Structure 1
């Protein structure tokens, strides 16, 4: 999962000289990816009541999301370098184009993981164990597009894991609200990454790569809407368990309105529109975070 880079940004990064290929390889120029990885972390902290009491934790998790999303992109490009070279949108990536060698990519990956380790050491032992447990899912993700029509579901397992880490860091255990928050995040990720995959449907079909966008076919809009609705239902259940009050669930109304707009306004045959809708989930994540803050601190 990554978004296109405008030409103006390429020119700006060109001034970065020797660092430019490594910035591109870790997608440090594209903050949408680490925002989407970060928001579930922040939701877990906020819904567990730590939005203000553990603001330091929220900042550490932000650094961790930036570093580990970068590490994930490097690892993904190492695995996919041959496939990337065959897709128009990705053949210019540093590994696929030869701008970065394989050994240098592994070294860059190790450095980013060291940053992640620093963040890991800031967590409680239980939360650290929960965080480390995600690594098997991360390692398997790049291969999913080769064996299943639903690699977006596996991405959901990976990108939503922070909800469990954030909750565990504050609450010291994984209880039902955390699991429901995590499950809702998975449905959200499947929805927005299906939108993202609309950009690559033709190339994916040609080279044999699978995606939910291809699997859903003419029913993409309904499919995305269904996953978003499931996400809202699961989040509502998580909130209800924390605060059994109908007004608490209403805190999700702005997020529900935004996700509904995405589905209704989506142009499934327009790659630029799909990218714009995908990117708008940074704002959707913020709206869910604010709902968790309201509920968790009430």
Structure 2
């Protein structure tokens, strides 16, 4: 077995954009995870999928940009809130001990102020939406607020995260005014299961530390069956997406557009090494590409339908 300590990957990175920021600004950028853009891509893709599958992506390309901005701001706000709640736990986990709140680089008061600023950016995006979409978007706040506590009360906090990180799909669907809510439900459930899968991969990095401090996760629940469990989750996700595509454009050729994304997910589980922190982090991050491949497939289907 690979030694987790030897493959441990720290949760803060001082490279890229972070490296050129003034020193006073860096802890706040790190607090919002601006050093790790994978988070906002994963939050963005479900909304982009819904816009693509609606068939209105070229007509409302501006919504893709608004949803991307909203994903960056609200993912940052969610990370700040999560770190405020989890700062004591983070100090006890090797991967998260250097986070700005856990390490003391940012005070709790300053973190709340930063949270408000990011939320105001999110509000600016909210004002671009129609009334139905805005109401649906506001419905996510309760899910976001409850998420940091899920790891303390359930072995499957990844399922709750799946609902949060997939919420852009119903918001975008309402904004596009499509009306076929069964198709949305299939897209949304597929996204939730996809999130459970990739976040289980991510949680493999923390299994030993989580066990020590009493934090639960799907990776701990699966134990030595992580690869099989993630495979099953990805199969269910692809099946849900295929059913959604079939409702929009019921031809085998339309289903073929899902093949690149399905093959990418197959590669993830085939090459996954749950005990290797660098491997699991790389496979987790590769879901940015999986999201892009699915978006392109749904874009073709939406425009052809």
TM-score (norm 2): 0.94
2:287 aligned with 1:287: no
Structure 2 runs not aligned, ≥5 long: 1-8
Aligned equivalents of 1:7, 1:182: Cα separation in 2: 32
Which of the residues 278, 282, 302 maps onto 1:276?
282
Dislocated runs of 4+, deviation >3 Å: 3-8
2:82 aligned with 1:76: yes
Matched residue, 1:260? 266
CA root-mean-square deviation: 1.5
Aligned equivalents of 2:260, 2:149: Cα separation in 1: 36
Match runs of 1:24-173 below 5 Å: 24-171=30-177, 173=179
2:192 aligned with 1:186: yes
Contact 1:34 1:65 in 2 (8 A): yes
Aligned equivalents of 2:34, 2:128: Cα separation in 1: 23
2:227 aligned with 1:221: yes
Cα displacement (A) at 1:167: 1.2
Aligned equivalents of 1:120, 1:282: Cα separation in 2: 24
Cα displacement (A) at 1:171: 2.0
Contact 2:54 2:178 in 1 (8 A): no
Equivalenced residue count is 296
CA shift in 2, pair 1:19/1:216, >3 Å? same
Contact 2:16 2:35 in 1 (8 A): no
Match runs of 1:192-271 below 5 Å: 192-271=198-277
Contact 1:168 1:174 in 2 (8 A): no
CA shift in 2, pair 1:157/1:8, >3 Å? closer
Residue range with higher mean Cα deviation, 269-278 or 11-20:
11-20
Structure 1 runs not aligned, ≥5 long: none
Cα displacement (A) at 1:50: 1.7
Aligned equivalents of 2:131, 2:178: Cα separation in 1: 9
SS in 2 for 1:9: coil
TM-score (norm 1): 0.96
